[in-house]
Amino acid sequence: MAKITLKNLRHAYMPQPKGPEDYALKEVDLDWQDGGAYALLGPSGCGKSTLLNIISGLLVPSEGQILFDGQDVTQLPPDQRNIAQVFQFPVIYDTMTVYDNLAFPLKNRGVDPATIDRRVREIAEMLEVNEMLNRRAAGLSPDNKQKISMGRGLVRDDVNVVMFDEPLTVIDPHLKWKLRSKLKELHQKINRTMIYVTHDQTEALTFADKVVVMQLGEVVQIGTPVELFERPAHTFVGHFIGSPGMNVLPAEQRDGAAFFQGQQVALEGPVAAGTSGKIEIGVRPEFVTLGQTGIPAQVRKVADIGRHHVVEAMAGEHKVAAILNGPAPQQGDTVHLQFRPDQTRVYADGWIASTPATEESAA
């Protein structure tokens, strides 16, 4: 097991990249701590698989280094990196039995038969495929094939990292949830570094202790699920995480204060000196309430989602979502929006630009 360091990593699939837009990975500097449960989260095409394939050695980066415990492995082929990788679609041997498929990575490394048998049965039990150990893989459903594929990734206990690249894509929705919690459980049991790639925020937030959010070939934030929810470092993270995502509203700033629709909006703290660029206010729907005073808006939609209502109101031409626990307004009502100050942030060109008030200055 090892700490994995990515240093000044860049990758372009084209031979002579010119600008940043030619790079599938722009500049990645990242430490993956030994034993961590990580999710790599971002929309399709943002570079997740590229990053994973660079770690596993399927791809050599155009620039930069990969270190395992400080040792440069950038040029090492995959089989010398001691990594298990599970792909989006099952990779198994159709002609072998389920048992032999699971045993293969161990046999290949000369593990003794008793240990192989124990490990195969443990993993099969965990994935609930123990009933089918003697069946040939060819006849299995896609779900089960993918479970075997995941099992092959998990069966060795000497790997540096187990990486899953959107492994639940082919899995039935009701099984997805179950497998995800199994993986989490397994991580807690074996404490091996795991990197779980997904474009689905729910998958990322339920599996990982730390989530690495990517957009357009760049890492935009690394944090715990709570950190990503509470204080998105970039408006993209605000949008991408949450349901509905963070309200991001065009604003102006003067002397450390921010204004939306001509009204000053109380913030978590001052806007950093020297802030310029496109200014926006970010506040999550969970922290928008209705009051007697505030920013006037017209209710456009009200959705009852059980324990609360999601209200969509128009402040001028800008849509603001609010999640309300109490009584909800009606469509067409005029309301006044209030933003909870300590949860209201300023972004400049997408990046967070306000700083939280310290305990003393808030007191």
Contact 20, 26 (CB under 8 A): yes
Give the interface segment with ligand ADP, choosing from 44-52, 61-69, 256-264, 323-331 (CB under 6 A).
Answer: 44-52
Cα radius of gyration (the chain): 24
Give the interface segment with ligand ADP, choosing from 43-51, 119-127, 246-254, 345-353 (CB under 6 A).
Answer: 43-51
The Cα–Cα gap between 299 and 285 comes to 14
Give the interface segment with ligand ADP, choosing from 38-46, 108-116, 167-175, 349-357 (CB under 6 A).
Answer: 38-46
For strand 263-265 and strand 279-283, is the pairing parallel, antiparallel, or unpaired?
A: unpaired
Residue 51 Cβ vs ligand ADP, minimum distance, rounded to whole Å: 7
Closer to Mg ion by CB, 140 or 204: give it.
204
Closer to Mg ion by CB, 40 or 265: give it.
40
The site partner of 47 among Mg ion, ligand ADP, none (C-beta below 5 to 8 Å per kind) is ligand ADP
User: What type of residue is 171?
Assistant: I
Query: Which residues are 28's β-sheet partners?
Result: 9
3-state secondary structure of 278: coil
Residue 45 Cβ vs ligand ADP, minimum distance, rounded to whole Å: 4
Closer to ligand ADP by CB, 216 or 257: give it.
216
The site partner of 61 among ligand ADP, Mg ion, none (C-beta below 5 to 8 Å per kind) is none
The site partner of 45 among ligand ADP, Mg ion, none (C-beta below 5 to 8 Å per kind) is ligand ADP
Is 44 one of the binding residues for ligand ADP (CB under 6 A)? yes
Residue 59 Cβ vs Mg ion, minimum distance, rounded to whole Å: 12
Closer to ligand ADP by CB, 49 or 338: give it.
49
> Who's near 212: CB < 8 A, 6+ residues apart?
30, 38, 39, 40, 41, 219, 221, 222
Closer to ligand ADP by CB, 153 or 269: give it.
153
Closer to ligand ADP by CB, 197 or 320: give it.
197
For strand 37-41 and strand 210-215, is the pairing parallel, antiparallel, or unpaired?
A: parallel
The Cα–Cα gap between 2 and 192 comes to 9
Closer to ligand ADP by CB, 130 or 169: give it.
169
The Cα–Cα gap between 17 and 8 comes to 16
Among 20, 45, 77, 277, binds ligand ADP (CB under 6 A): 45
Closer to ligand ADP by CB, 87 or 287: give it.
87
Query: Which residues are 38's β-sheet partners?
Result: 195, 210
User: What type of residue is 48?
Assistant: K
The site partner of 89 among Mg ion, ligand ADP, none (C-beta below 5 to 8 Å per kind) is none
Residue in the shown chain whose Cβ atom is closest to Mg ion: 49
Range 49-108, binding ligand ADP (CB under 6 A): 49-50
User: What type of residue is 112?
Assistant: D
Name the token pair of 293. 């005073």
List the one residue out of 226, 133, 127 whose CA is nearest residue 168. 127
Helices (H) then strands (E): counts for the chain: 9, 22
The site partner of 361 among Mg ion, ligand ADP, none (C-beta below 5 to 8 Å per kind) is none
Name the token pair of 213. 């959010």
Among 6, 24, 66, 127, binds ligand ADP (CB under 6 A): 24
Range 211-230, binding Mg ion (CB under 5 A): none
The Cα–Cα gap between 43 and 40 comes to 10
3-state secondary structure of 27: strand
Among 2, 9, 11, 49, binds Mg ion (CB under 5 A): 49
List the one residue out of 306, 260, 56 whose CA is nearest residue 164. 56
Give the interface segment with ligand ADP, choosing from 48-56, 130-138, 225-233, 279-287 (CB under 6 A).
Answer: 48-56
Going by the DSSP 8-state scheme, the letter that residue 138 receives in this structure is G
Per CB under 5 A, residues contacting Mg ion are 49
Per CB under 6 A, residues contacting ligand ADP are 13, 24, 42, 44-50
